[in-house]
Amino acid sequence: MSAAPPPRVALRRDSPLRFLKGVGPQRAEALAAAGCHSVEDLLWHLPLRWEDRRRVCAPAEVDRPGSWTVRGRLAELRLLRTRRRGFVIVRGRVAGGGAQLPVVWFNQPWLMDRFADGDEVLLFGNVRATEGGLLEMLSPAVHGWSEAGGEGGIVAVYPAVAGIGPAAVGRLMEQVVPVLAADPPSELLPDSLLAAWSLPRLAEALLAIHRPGPAADLGALAARSDPAHLRLVYGELLELQLELMELRSREIRVEKRHHYRIDEESRRAAREMLPFRLTGAQKRVVREIVGDLQGRAPMLRLLQGDVGSGKTIVAALALLIAATSGLQAAFMAPTELLAEQHFGNLTRLLAGRARVGLFTGSSADADRRRALAAGEFDVAVGTHALIQGGVVFRNLALAVIDEQHRFGVAQRRLLQAKGERPDVLVMTATPIPRSLALTLYGDLEQSVLDEMPPGRTPVATEIVPGSRRAEVYRRLRGALAAGARAYVVFPLIEESEEVSAASLEQMGTRVRDFLADSPSAVLHGRLPAAERDRIMRAFTSGEIRVLVATTVIEVGVDVPEATWMVIESAERFGLAQLHQLRGRVGRGSGASRCIALHGRLSETAGRRLEVFATARDGFAIAEADLQIRGPGDLLGTRQAGVPKLRVADLIGHREWLERARADARRLQPRLDEPELAPLAARVRSRVSSRYESFAGG
């Protein structure tokens, strides 16, 4: 690459960032890696906060607590170490106008390298009154005066990006913000829509965020509830909703080729298969699914149902319909343990009516794959081994995915691609608050199992500090002596599963020694499949009475006779995960108990456990989890394929999500109208690039 300076041209919105002063090849590359290629990309790098420099004061003018912007010279800067290890304080004064104001910073030792006594600075922050009644500035943002960009106005402060610090980002913004006027980004939303919601146009909104006018409402800006932010939020959510609808319409546009035979005979087969009477909710959902199967477009349905609500039997009925119609079906689960359990159940349920094969990492051998391709299996149950390249179906018509939240959209599409427009049913036991469901699964029809099978008693839940562990295990010993079966769950403590397995073995040994009167076993993901299978069978039959396990039992494991659960280090689990774990007990008619042992609690961990102890309903728990953790964490890293929202916040902007959803429904059928052409073009190109690549053609 030549080191010649880039040509001096007027910046346009699509100009590459190396045209900016201060951006060399290296920075350009780092920015590109962070998703910033052009001037327009950088314009979406929004401020972290805004400083009010409309009134810059001398230290002499600061006469009461509150938020102040102060210009002066630093004096008496010194670093103080405290008794708490690693905790440092920088103290000093800022002087000017014949007065001095004390300043204190916590844990910012680097200030000592950056600034020295006598430096002229601009401080922005809170002034408080100390116990002695003196005023003191508390951890203010500090800029050297010469680089502060002068006084006046409301000044945006940017988050660092690609290793470029806030001040340097601010200087880049000086160059790109004028482009908003010179070459404004294209407006995708029709004026009529913006007018309906009283929102500004895109360029205007971006300008108001980067360079708020002197009359701007700082509180609203900080809360992202000003019209400018709401314009970006609405636009982002509207595009996303339209993408999901467009995606759905593409998927169901092509009629499926396969047909199911649903007649008196298959109904009788279904009745004979059922080991119990379906709940009202199960009947309703089965009807919804059968309706989809009989439709001309492929089914795309999400089945939500709390742990234990009985999703498996619903899926089994759909699988039976496929098999008795001479079609193949797949049932994919996230763990080998769960796949093995489903395989066991389905083999029993479908005996004599369907040939069921197991496809996991340790079982999907060449013979089995050949049999599947030849149509010798009607139902393939497995893990993601099912979506490997070597797995071929003869006529895959129905794909069921259990615990969908453990998979990404990409994996769903890979399974779909194993057939020709197969019907798809995805199931999840993580109830998703509506706001998230709309964002994640807006392209799916939704069914909800909102009724538990009869005879369940709520699980008595106790939150107990680790200091009372011995007492808890004594009670457990008593319950075991009376015939109970129990899970003891440990979190994955180490980064590596191997280390974790080792430490689990160790802790497990202690627990098992204490409970030596009852046969027990340790179960974790590193055990060979055959060994896991043997242990699960033994626990199911009651030969083993205590299962010391990692969260491998979190999803789907179903042993109705288990009525006790002890969760160790419960503070390490998320709320949804705790709820899933607890769902392993209380599945039969016996009264069940779950004891969450915890160590030191952070504030949020304390709140989580409080909610866990009192809430029973998975949807309520999911809502609470969303409030406590925020959507990013709730989805976890497993949610590959979830579009990242740049501005919108699913909690704070929930109301706007509903508005965008309603508008998208109204607009989608009209996307070909000229007024909507720019929006339609964006949505369609996004759908093609973001989703179609997974579809396998």
- Provide φ and ψ at 368, rounded to 5°: -65, -40
Task: Give yes or no for residue 307 binding ligand ADP (CB under 6 A).
Answer: yes
Task: Give yes or no for residue 227 binding ligand ADP (CB under 6 A).
Answer: no
Host H or E run for residue 120: strand 120-129
Give least dist CB 633 to Mg ion, A: 23
Residue for token pair 């427009």: 421
Q: Which residue is nearest to ligand ADP (CB)?
A: 310
Binding piece for ligand ADP, criterion CB under 6 A, among 45-53, 75-83, 276-284, 466-474 = 276-284
Residues 6-65 within binding reach of ligand ADP (CB under 6 A): none
User: Which residue of 149, 375, 408, 560 would you call a contact of ligand ADP, by CB under 6 A?
Assistant: 560
- Provide φ and ψ at 339, rounded to 5°: -60, -40
| Nearer to ligand ADP among residue 556 and residue 631 (C-beta) | 556
Task: Give yes or no for residue 505 binding ligand ADP (CB under 6 A).
Answer: no
Binding piece for Mg ion, criterion CB under 5 A, among 157-165, 373-381, 418-426, 551-559 = 551-559
Task: Give yes or no for residue 561 binding ligand ADP (CB under 6 A).
Answer: no
| Nearer to ligand ADP among residue 59 and residue 308 (C-beta) | 308
| Nearer to Mg ion among residue 442 and residue 556 (C-beta) | 556
| Nearer to ligand ADP among residue 298 and residue 305 (C-beta) | 305
User: Which residue of 313, 379, 567, 667 would you call a contact of ligand ADP, by CB under 6 A?
Assistant: 313
588 Cβ neighbours under 8 A, 6+ residues apart = 455, 560, 561, 563
User: Which residue of 175, 282, 304, 551 would you call a contact of ligand ADP, by CB under 6 A?
Assistant: 282
How far is it, in rounded angstroms, from Cα 662 to Cα 644?
21
What is the Rg, in whole angstroms, of the alpha carbon atoms belonging to the chain? 30
309 binds, among ligand ADP, Mg ion, none (CB under 5 to 8 A by kind): ligand ADP
How far is it, in rounded angstroms, from Cα 477 to Cα 271?
42
| Nearer to ligand ADP among residue 279 and residue 518 (C-beta) | 279
Measured torsion, CA atoms of residues 262, 267, 268, 270, in degrees rounded to the nearest 10: 110
Binding piece for ligand ADP, criterion CB under 6 A, among 1-9, 19-27, 253-261, 306-314 = 306-314
- Provide φ and ψ at 375, rounded to 5°: 80, 20
Give least dist CB 250 to ligand ADP, A: 30
Give least dist CB 577 to ligand ADP, A: 14
One-letter amino acid at 235 equals: G
Binding piece for ligand ADP, criterion CB under 6 A, among 117-125, 145-153, 274-282, 473-481 = 274-282
2 Cβ neighbours under 8 A, 6+ residues apart = none
Residues 331-350 within binding reach of ligand ADP (CB under 6 A): none
Give least dist CB 429 to Mg ion, A: 6
| Nearer to ligand ADP among residue 185 and residue 560 (C-beta) | 560
430 Cβ neighbours under 8 A, 6+ residues apart = 403, 405, 576, 580, 618, 622
Task: Give yes or no for residue 583 binding Mg ion (CB under 5 A).
Answer: no
Residues 153-182 within binding reach of ligand ADP (CB under 6 A): none
| Nearer to ligand ADP among residue 210 and residue 584 (C-beta) | 584
Give least dist CB 427 to Mg ion, A: 7
Q: What angle do CA 472, 474, 480 make, to 5 degrees?
A: 105
User: Which residue of 309, 324, 416, 518 would you call a contact of ligand ADP, by CB under 6 A?
Assistant: 309
How far is it, in rounded angstroms, from Cα 19 to Cα 685?
27
Count the site residues for ligand ADP by CB under 6 A. 19
Q: DSSP states of 123-157 as a string?
A: EEEEEEE-TTS-EEEEEEEEEEGGGTT-SSSEEEE
Task: Give yes or no for residue 270 binding ligand ADP (CB under 6 A).
Answer: no
Q: Which residue is nearest to Mg ion (CB)?
A: 556
For residue 474, which of 506, 511, 521 has the smallest C-alpha distance? Answer: 511
Give least dist CB 107 to ligand ADP, A: 46
Give least dist CB 453 to ligand ADP, A: 3
Catalogue the long-range contacts made by 215-218 (C-beta closer than 8 Å, 24 or more residues apart). Answer: 216/50, 216/154, 218/50, 218/52, 218/154
Task: Give yes or no for residue 556 binding Mg ion (CB under 5 A).
Answer: yes
Measured torsion, CA atoms of residues 321, 324, 330, 331, in degrees rounded to the nearest 10: 60
Residue for token pair 């932010």: 229
Binding piece for Mg ion, criterion CB under 5 A, among 129-137, 179-187, 554-562, 624-632 = 554-562
Residues 431-460 within binding reach of ligand ADP (CB under 6 A): 453
Q: DSSP states of 263-325 as a string?
A: SHHHHHHHHHH-SSPPPHHHHHHHHHHHHHHHSSSPPEEEEEE-TTS-HHHHHHHHHHHHHHT
Residue 688 Ramachandran class (φ > 0 left, ψ -120 to 50 alpha, else beta): alpha
| Nearer to ligand ADP among residue 612 and residue 691 (C-beta) | 612
CA distances to 78, 486, 499, 582, 658 from 525, rounded to whole Å, are 53, 19, 12, 19, 41
Residues 624-683 within binding reach of ligand ADP (CB under 6 A): none
611 binds, among Mg ion, ligand ADP, none (CB under 5 to 8 A by kind): none
CA distances to 149, 212, 265, 287 from 363, rounded to whole Å, are 66, 62, 34, 34
Q: How many CB atoms lie within 10 A of CB 82?
A: 11
Contact residues for Mg ion, defined by CB under 5 A: 556
Contact residues for ligand ADP, defined by CB under 6 A: 276-279, 282, 305, 307-313, 429, 453, 556, 558, 560, 587
